[in-house]
């Protein structure tokens, strides 16, 4: 299979530390080009890919006929604009989450995707990790009985990093957009259900951005409670609690960075069962799945419609505040 040639719009820290390296390592992918006007930032990427083509503007990279797919790691408020520009330039697009700041903003992206025949998707990497497909499989098997509660938490503390785009309202900052997508989307992905109502949404803001959100929601067959925060010590956790047992993911979101991915199944009908994935890189799997969809037409694990559903839940939370 011919490798997909990738370009990255901007020399973001996350792109440098994770996604650029994942593209470089992925089977069927080539990290071909980077758009940045900073030679210093470019050097950080050239350190592991000396043959990298450097463009001094985003538009120049989009005009490069060699680039087939574009990764967009720009600040949140620029995601829709540059996703649409990349699609208009004939490029497949993988855009960081949240892809849009409200559900209605997905309309233009979905229309552009359908009109172009190109692949456009949110970089929601967790659904590419086998721990989530395994949790989905176990839940569907009935091993924990009827699902009663999904409990999620995702937190970190970046209070001292005042220049971080997550702490700035003008760049679409806030915990809900940055990590709420994981807390909400993971519950939706594993259960296959959509929220019916938000029973409670407690949101704390600082300088115009949400830094702590606690949510209680009702799904058709279970209750949901979740907390996301940018002002609490690092923690990640999901539990799917049923009438006959529970499934826990101990490093659900930054597997391999926060901790080793681990799934724990506890149910009276079975012995305590633990599965671990110490070497899986979900970013690499995301790139490889993206390439397979482009080259073979295989179904992509995270279509825009799924991402739109997560944003719809976020909108519901904000409306319930």
Q: Which CATH class is domain 4-124+288-293?
A: alpha beta
Q: 266-302: per-residue pLDDT in tens?
A: 998 788 999 999 999 999 999 999 999 999 999 999 9
pLDDT of residue 211: 97
pLDDT of residue 1: 77
pLDDT band at 97 (very low <50, low <70, confident <90, very high): very high
Please report which residue ranges of 68-118 form alpha helices under DSSP H: 79-88, 106-116
> Which of the two residues, 163 and 315, has the higher pLDDT score?
315
In this predicted structure, the answer to whether residue 117 has a pLDDT above a threshold of 90 is yes
- Asked if 78 contacts 57 with a C-beta cutoff of 8 angstroms, the reply is no
- Asked if 92 contacts 68 with a C-beta cutoff of 8 angstroms, the reply is yes
| Alpha-carbon distance values, 253 to 130, 136, 141, 183, 238 (Å) | 12, 15, 23, 9, 9
Would you give the distance in Å from CA 103 to the centre of its chain?
16
Instruction: Of 319, 159, 136, give the one whose Cα is nearest residue 234.
Output: 159
Beta-carbon count within 10 A of 264 CB:
15
- Average pLDDT of every residue of the chain: 97
In this predicted structure, the answer to whether residue 321 has a pLDDT above a threshold of 90 is no
- In this structure, what DSSP letter does residue 3 have? P
| Alpha-carbon distance values, 226 to 107, 185, 196, 201, 309 (Å) | 28, 11, 15, 10, 17
Element spanning 14, H or E: helix 13-14
pLDDT of residue 64: 98
- In this structure, what DSSP letter does residue 298 have? P
- In this structure, what DSSP letter does residue 270 have? S
Query: Is residue 235 helix, strand or coil?
Result: strand
The fold adopted by the segment(s) 130-278 is Dihydrodipicolinate Reductase; domain 2 (3.30.360)
Q: 124-178: per-residue pLDDT in tens?
A: 999 999 999 999 999 999 999 999 999 999 999 999 999 899 999 998 999 999 9
Question: What is the reported pTM?
Answer: 0.96
Cα angle, residue 20 at apex, residues 14 and 22 outer, rounded to 5°: 105
- Asked if 228 contacts 179 with a C-beta cutoff of 8 angstroms, the reply is yes
Q: So where are the chain's domains?
A: 4-124+288-293, 130-278
Q: 21-75: per-residue pLDDT in tens?
A: 999 999 999 999 999 999 999 999 999 999 999 999 999 999 999 999 999 999 9
């Amino acid at each position: 299979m011919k490798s997909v040639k990738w370009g990255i719009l901007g020399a973001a820290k996350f792109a440098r530390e994770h996604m650029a390296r994942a593209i470089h390592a992925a089977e069927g992918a080539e990290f071909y080009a980077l758009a940045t006007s900073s030679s210093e930032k470019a050097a950080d990427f050239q350190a592991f890919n000396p043959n990298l083509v450097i463009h001094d503007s985003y538009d120049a990279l989009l005009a490069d006929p060699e680039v087939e797919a574009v990764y967009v790691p720009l600040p949140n408020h620029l995601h829709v604009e540059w996703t649409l520009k990349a699609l208009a330039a004939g490029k497949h697009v993988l855009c960081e989450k949240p892809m849009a700041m409200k559900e209605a903003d997905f309309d233009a992206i979905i229309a552009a995707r359908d009109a172009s025949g190109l692949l456009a998707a949110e970089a929601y990497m967790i659904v590419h990790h086998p721990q989530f497909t395994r949790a989905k499989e176990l839940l569907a098997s009935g091993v924990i009985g009827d699902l009663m509660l999904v409990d999620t938490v995702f937190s970190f503390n970046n209070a001292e990093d005042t220049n971080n785009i997550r702490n700035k309202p003008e760049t679409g900052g806030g915990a809900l957009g940055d990590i709420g997508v994981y807390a909400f989307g993971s519950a939706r992905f594993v259960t296959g259900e959509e929220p019916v109502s938000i029973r409670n949404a407690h949101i704390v803001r600082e300088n115009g951005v949400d830094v702590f959100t606690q949510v209680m929601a009702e799904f058709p067959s279970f209750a949901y409670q979740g907390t996301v925060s940018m002002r609490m010590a690092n923690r990640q956790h999901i539990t799917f609690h049923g009438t006959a047992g529970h499934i826990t993911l101990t490093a659900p979101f930054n597997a391999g960075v926060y901790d080793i991915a681990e799934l724990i199944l506890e149910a009276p009908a079975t012995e305590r069962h633990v599965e671990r994935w110490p070497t899986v890189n979900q970013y690499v799997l995301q790139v490889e799945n993206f390439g397979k969809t482009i080259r073979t037409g295989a179904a992509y694990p995270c279509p825009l419609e799924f991402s739109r559903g997560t944003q719809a839940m976020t909108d519901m939370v904000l409306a319930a505040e």
